[in-house]
Amino acid sequence: MSHTADVIVIGAGIHGCSTALHLAMRGLKPVVIEKDHAGRHASGVNAGGVRQLARHFAEVPLSVASMELWERIEDLVGDDCGFTSEGQVLVAETEAELESFRARVDELRAMGFTHEELIDRVELKKLVPAVSDSCPGGVVSRRDGAANPFRATQAFRRKAIQLGAKVVEGVSVTGFTRQGAAWRVSTTADTFEAPVIVNAAGAWAGRIAAMFGEPVPLEVIAPMLMITSRMPHFIRPVVILRGRKLSFKQFNNGTVLIGGGHLGRAYPDTNYTELDWTKLRESARTVWDLFPIMRQATIVRAWAGIEARMPDDIPVIGPSSTAEGVYHQFGFSAHGFQLGPGVGALMAELITTGSTNLPIAPFSIARFSNAIPKH
């Protein structure tokens, strides 16, 4: 069978579902095609950080705009998505690191952004009493927080469907052909036709881009996470590091989630990931050093998702450089969850009006036009 739509979105992670929702809010009828199920990969198994803190400068306007949507997420999708706003703290482990943070905060303020606030040792201990006494300070973004990633992705999916979107799961895209002003998308099931395609395929987005003649050096990665047994409550904000890799937060039930960027091995052809126990041990050692209270904790489980990383660690967002009516939205490099609501709104704006109110030039796929793709 052949189905028609206003827009075909490939990938039902939080970005694909958010774009579908915002397109539906603008009166369009999108179809989302997902090879597995919504939230199966990076969007459903990440650490759930809702973070403006320590963003690449190019991402800051998107992140700030997205935070405004997170702060009214229940109005947007009919579910609070488990969102809590206890702040996020970037801890400096040395005086030199704290000085580098000071320079960053000053630069952000020169750009007009005030969400990052430099804090000294006293304020750090006030916010995170359990942190090691050796830490001289850090940076706090007080509106930041965390959410439940799988729940959030499902909420965007449900709301998009309520507003007229269609989500087709368990179906893989196999090819594209141009039919006049429309694209025909072949899949392992039916065919779909629409004048606009959005490539939000995550770790598989490089394959989609290559079908349109614009291969990118996308690396498939497997960020790892661990969760502990229940601990007495000792921390409210999310804590991150930039020297050593760490993202650290405690849930309401007392369990502690430990992440931060250590990678396992990803096998995208089979949806399989393999943990690297040496790196997990390194992550546990960082927690041991930074939070003495955690030395009695037990690791209960560890896992890894499948994600796409770009060489410059910022995503590809915007129109194709080779194919009319094709847009890209991928490569969020293990920090795309918080951006999902805002980038979905931005993509819907771009598709329906031809422009955006936020700068997206740094995210153009054309920046890789001379790069050799990495497989």
- CATH number of the domain within which 204 lies: 3.50.50.60
Choose one of 261, 281, 309: the last residue of a domain. 309
Q: Are strands 88-92 and 238-241 parallel, antiparallel or unpaired?
A: parallel
In a domain, 32, yes or no: yes
Question: What DSSP designation does 268 have?
Answer: T
* 124 in the same domain as 26: no
Tally of domains within the chain: 2
Q: Which two tokens stand for residue 11?
A: 């990938």
* 192 in the same domain as 305: no
- For 114-134, write each residue's pLDDT tens digit: 999 999 999 999 999 999 999
pTM above 0.85, yes or no: yes
In a domain, 74, yes or no: no
| pLDDT at residue 370, as a whole number | 76
* 250 in the same domain as 304: yes
Radius of gyration of the chain (CA): 21
In a domain, 78, yes or no: no
Surface-to-core class of residue 357, CB atoms within 10 Å of its CB (0-12 exposed, 13-18 middle, 19+ buried) = exposed
Is 1 a residue whose pLDDT tops 80? no
Q: Tell me how many degrees the CA angle 84-357-345 measures, rounded to the nearest 5.
A: 45
- DSSP for 200-219, written as a single string: --GGGHHHHHHHTT-----E
Choose one of 264, 283, 309: the last residue of a domain. 309
C-alpha span between 327 and 214 (Å, rounded): 12
| pLDDT at residue 243, as a whole number | 87
Instruction: Give the SS3 label for residue 198.
Output: strand
Choose one of 291, 309, 327: the last residue of a domain. 309
In a domain, 373, yes or no: no
Q: What is the mean pLDDT of residues 14-35?
A: 98
C-alpha span between 204 and 200 (Å, rounded): 9
In a domain, 163, yes or no: yes
C-alpha span between 309 and 94 (Å, rounded): 29
Cα distance from N-terminal residue to C-terminal residue, the chain: 33
In a domain, 375, yes or no: no
In a domain, 77, yes or no: no
* 291 in the same domain as 225: yes
* 171 in the same domain as 301: no
- Domain range for residue 282? 86-143+220-309
Q: Which two tokens stand for residue 54?
A: 């320590």
* 139 in the same domain as 225: yes
* 303 in the same domain as 155: no
Instruction: Give the SS3 label for residue 136.
Output: coil
pLDDT mean across residues, the chain: 95
- Which residues contact residue 325 at a Cβ distance below 8 angstroms, ignoring those fewer than 6 apart? 181, 183, 195, 196, 197
In a domain, 72, yes or no: no
Contact 253, 228 (CB under 8 A): no
CATH of the domain at 112: 3.30.9.10
Contact 347, 19 (CB under 8 A): yes
Surface-to-core class of residue 20, CB atoms within 10 Å of its CB (0-12 exposed, 13-18 middle, 19+ buried) = buried
- For 210-260, write each residue's pLDDT tens digit: 999 999 999 999 999 999 999 999 999 999 998 889 999 999 999 999 998
- For 270-285, write each residue's pLDDT tens digit: 999 999 999 999 999 9
* 92 in the same domain as 227: yes
* 103 in the same domain as 29: no
Q: Which two tokens stand for residue 363?
A: 């995210």
